[in-house]
Structure 1
């Protein structure tokens, strides 16, 4: 009996139509987030998004039925990116390793998606009206899951007693500052614009400061002299 062939696990190349859709949707979202970050939802028109994306207005409506749909997609993508970073905070990892990886991931996201971060910050400053109930519930639940991880580390003596909620807000504030207030950060370090080296230095400083504040002091190794 002939042996069955193993299934081909290689990715099937995208059809031309799928590639065109992906390229056009990316152009629309890239143009939209820049406009929303500067002008807000009410101040941005579909016509402007079309012009900035280099596509006819009809094409924008073809991929996104409404301006609200574009806005909601941008919010959802950003939350997914932040969720990905939070995956580093796990009970099966040591706090030093997990916290370091999380801060690195958040800073990397801030560097690569600075406009998206500013867009979301502006949405929250305007009251977060476009955050759905499902998204709000998800944000509470995923934060609670990671809070429980930190509480477990504290119980095990792997971290000093810290309020895990404020602990996370501290990390969010420091890592997102480099995106939301990029001009201030660049001015502070004496640069016209932040580069990769500046983000690497920021990572070292944030990680060092936070770990020194939350990791337990090593046991004294002093030896009694008889």
Structure 2
């Protein structure tokens, strides 16, 4: 019994080291990928940027592709989390407000990751696996059905739900992919939390005023 209890205590430091090193590798990799793309980034560069031997990179990730896939999966999970606010049970005003807030918050906290994805899409999006493309399509279809239900119930005006989600995503994503442009427009060096909060209120107000039925 004593041996069984001691195993977790021996394993915990190893797990912490793994988590810390994987985080360092992913942080270095996403910054390089966002600037140089997948083909332009070498594993040796990732190792140098995160301060770990190249052998350690392969210890935690078998290939450069594995690092890349992990970054994409984590990004999609973050976007999925924001979409979870849009459900049939919620009032459209509440659901859309929560989505915009969550998406903008993710854009603020994950600027480099968001740009990494956007830059790769501009290069053709060949990095997305079939499973990832299918996942993006399926989760969008689920939310499209929610919007269609709101329309049928008279909760929002008739709109094209697919283009509606493209507009929502593009508007909130702008604050990550073009943060410098937004900052210049606001005549400041960089965006602050207050700017993101103001953006949230403005986006939500415009969207709701355009799709909610007149009371």
Which category of TM-score, normalised to the shorter sequence, fits these structures? over 0.9
List per-residue Cα deviations over 1:70-107 (Å, max 9, x = no partner): 11110011001100100000000000000000000000
Higher helix proportion: 2
Which among 150, 156, 160 is matched to residue 159 of structure 1?
156
TM-score by length of 2: 0.94
C-alpha offsets along residues 183-220 of structure 1, whole Å, 9 cap, x if unaligned? 111111111111101100100110000000001110xx
- Residue 69 (structure 2) pairs with residue 72 (structure 1): yes
Partner residue of 1:83? Answer: 80
SS of match in other structure, 1:42: helix
* Displacement of 1:53: 0.8
RMSD: 1.1
Gaps of 5+ in 2: 1-7
Q: Which residue of structure 2 lines up, in the alignment, with residue 9 of structure 1?
A: none
In the alignment, which residue of structure 1 is the partner of 2:99?
Answer: 102
Of 72, 89, 94 in structure 2, the residue corresponding to residue 92 of structure 1 is: 89
Q: Which residue among 153, 165, 169 is the counterpart of 1:168?
A: 165
Deviation string 1:38-78 (CA, Å, 9 cap, x unpaired) is 11111111111111111111111110111111111100110
Using structure 1 for the length normalisation, give the TM-score: 0.90
Q: Give the Cα separation in 1 of the matches to 2:183 and 2:48.
A: 30
Corresponding position of 2:119 = 122
2:63, 2:183 → 1: CA distance? 36
Distance 1:69 1:127 in 2: 19
TM alignment of 1:43-58, pairs within 5 A:
43-58=40-55
SS at match of 1:88: coil
Tell me which stretches of 4 or more aligned residues in structure 1 moved more than 2 Å.
none
Instruction: In structure 1, list runs of 5 or more residues that go unmatched.
Output: 1-11, 219-226
